[in-house]
């Protein structure tokens, strides 16, 4: 892949556009997207699409949906859907009608998410990438389209996820002439999704790669065990520093200081009061709710007698 050479050529374009948005270097008026964040769901969907590809097909593509920040400089890729396409030796065919229908359907559910670009599997950018990108560029009009690749063949033993925007190349811009410039890409998710991911992460360590839902209690136990191992690790490190086996690291020390000072100092009497009132509240609530349940159970039994 000759991405490294293109990279150097392309960078000035980004500079000009970003530093002075009015500079007419690029045909795009808006500043380029230079930061993207991806919802993990997008990865999951892409992988699922790849697993469901037609026999003999080695690359799948699809449309990315998401939201842009107001100035268009940050793109959050929130979801995606597959688009069927056909690649042969000398031509590429993308089912545009399908793409439009799906987009319309998505709009009905989530009107906030707009087309921000497209994805493809495989680590390479080939000559068709530029063509497809050109199409998506027209779809997103004023903003630069984002291209996301995912290396599903696991070359280098990773699922290298990369995002690009395209810059026109040459004196006269032709649709199949463009350079893909890598842009940074983060993974972001919301708090509620966090819990889901956590659970999925549990599944990967099992043989059957499946997991069951945990109860709140089990989950708490896991968290506590995690905290314990971390504390052990830290105290082992501190001990070893004190013993002089490991050289002291100022940065780590400062972090530790900060962490320790976060623990609030509460007056024991005050604490006792708070602790007891909370405990009483909770026990009372539990007691009442159990009473209610008993009432219900009694009613249930009585109903059977009628």
Partner 1 sequence: MPANKDQLSAALDIEGVVPIQSVQLDAMVVLKIVKHCRESIPATVTGQLMGLDVNGVLEVTHSFPMPKNQESEDFEGSTYQLQMMRCLREVNVDDNSVGWYQSTNMGNFMNQSLIEHQYEFQQALSKSVLIIHDVSRSSMGNLNLRALRLTPAFMKLYKENKFTTEALARAKLTFSNIFEELPITIRNSALLNALLYELETPDESVEISTSHLTTYKNTNNAQSTGSKTVLTPNYDMLDLSMDPFVAKNLEFLMETIDDHTQEQGNYAYWQRSVERENKKKAAYLLNRKTENARRAQAGQAPLPNEDVDSMFKLPAEPSRLDHLLISGQIDNYCKQINEFAGPTLGKLFAVGELQK
Cβ proximity to partner 1: between 214 and 234 the closer is: 214
Q: Are 59 and 120 in contact (CB under 8 A)?
A: yes
**Which residue, among 122, 167, 110, 174, has the nearest Cα to 148 in the 3D structure?**
122
Closer by beta carbon to partner 1, 145 or else 165: 165
Nearer to partner 1, 63 or 129 (CB): 63
Instruction: Identify the CA nearest to 144 among candidates 74, 83, 208.
Output: 74
Piece of the chain touching partner 1 by CB under 8 A; list 22-30, 42-50, 132-140, 240-248: 42-50
- Least Å from the CB of residue 111 to partner 1: 10
304 near partner 1 (CB under 8 A): yes
Interacting positions 12-31 with partner 1 (CB under 8 A): 14, 18
Task: Output the CA torsion sign for 36, 40, 46, 50.
Answer: positive
Of 94-102, 125-133, 134-142, 166-174, the window that binds partner 1 (rule: CB under 8 A) is 94-102
Contact at 8 Å (CB) between 130 and 178? yes
Residues that bind partner 1 (rule: CB under 8 A) add up to a total of 107
Q: Which is nearer to partner 1, 33 or 130 (CB)?
A: 33
Whole-number minimum distance, CB 279 to partner 1, in Å? Answer: 6
Q: Are 119 and 149 in contact (CB under 8 A)?
A: yes
* Site mask for partner 1 (CB under 8 A), range 98-117, x = bound: x--xx--x--xxx-------
By CB under 8 A, what part of segment 256-285 binds partner 1?
266, 268, 271, 275, 278-279, 281-282, 285
Tokens of 124: 């390479």
Evaluate whether 44 touches 83 at the Cβ level (below 8 Å): no
DSSP state at residue 248: -
The number of beta carbons lying within 10 Å of the beta carbon of residue 99 is 23
Among positions 11, 86, 231, 257, the unique one binding partner 1 when judged by CB under 8 A: 11
- Judged by CB under 8 A, the chain residues 219 through 238 that form the site for partner 1 are 219-220, 222-224, 226-227, 230
Q: How far is the CB of 137 from partner 1 (least distance, A)?
A: 20
How far apart are the C-alpha atoms of 100 and 103, rounded to whole Å? 5
Q: Residue 84, class by beta-carbon neighbours within 10 Å (0-12 exposed, 13-18 middle, 19+ buried)?
A: middle
Least distance to partner 1, CB of residue 90, Å: 24
Q: Which stretch binds partner 1 (CB under 8 A): 7-15, 167-175, 237-245, 253-261?
A: 7-15
Site for partner 1 in 194-213 (CB under 8 A): 194-201, 203-204, 208-213
- State the Cα–Cα distance between residues 15 and 120, nearest whole angstrom: 27
DSSP at 156:
G
CA dihedral 67, 42, 133, 20 (to 10 degrees): 40
Backbone angles phi, psi at 304, to 5 degrees: -70, -25
Stretch that binds partner 1, among 86-94, 134-142, 150-158, 236-244 (CB under 8 A): 150-158
Q: Which of 13, 77, 78, 125 binds partner 1 (CB under 8 A)?
A: 78
Choice from 9, 23, 86, 187 touching partner 1 (CB under 8 A): 187
CB 218 → partner 1: shortest distance, Å?
A: 9
Check if the beta carbon of residue 151 is closer than 8 Å to that of residue 111: no
């Amino acid at each position: 892949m000759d991405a490294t050479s293109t990279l150097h050529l392309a960078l000035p374009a980004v500079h000009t556009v970003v530093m002075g948005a009015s500079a007419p270097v690029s045909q795009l008026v808006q500043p380029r997207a230079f930061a993207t964040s991806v919802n993990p769901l997008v990865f999951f969907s892409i992988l699922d699409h790849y697993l469901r590809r037609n026999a003999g097909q080695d690359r799948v593509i699809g449309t990315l949906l998401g939201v842009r920040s107001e100035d268009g400089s940050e793109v959050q890729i929130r979801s995606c859907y597959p688009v069927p396409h056909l690649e042969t030796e000398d031509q590429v065919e993308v089912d545009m009608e399908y793409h439009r229908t799906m987009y319309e359907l998505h709009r009905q559910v989530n009107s906030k998410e707009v087309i921000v670009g497209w994805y493809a599997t495989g680590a390479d950018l080939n000559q068709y990438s530029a063509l497809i990108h050109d199409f998506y560029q027209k779809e997103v009009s004023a903003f630069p389209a984002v291209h996301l690749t995912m290396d599903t063949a696991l070359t280098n033993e990773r699922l290298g996820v990369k995002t690009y925007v395209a810059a026109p190349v040459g004196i006269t811009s032709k649709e199949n002439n463009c350079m893909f410039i890598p842009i940074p890409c983060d993974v972001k998710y919301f708090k509620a999704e966090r819990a889901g991911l956590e659970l999925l992460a549990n599944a990967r360590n099992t043989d059957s790669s499946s997991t069951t839902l945990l109860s709140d209690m089990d989950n708490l136990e896991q968290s506590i065990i995690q905290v314990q191992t971390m504390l052990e690790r830290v105290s082992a490190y501190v001990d070893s520093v004190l013993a002089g086996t490991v050289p002291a690291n100022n940065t780590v020390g400062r972090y530790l200081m900060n962490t320790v000072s976060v623990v609030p100092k509460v007056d024991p009497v005050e604490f006792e009061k708070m602790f007891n009132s909370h405990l009483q509240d909770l026990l009372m609530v539990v007691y009442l709710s159990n009473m209610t349940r008993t009432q219900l159970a009694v009613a249930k039994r009585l109903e059977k007698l009628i």
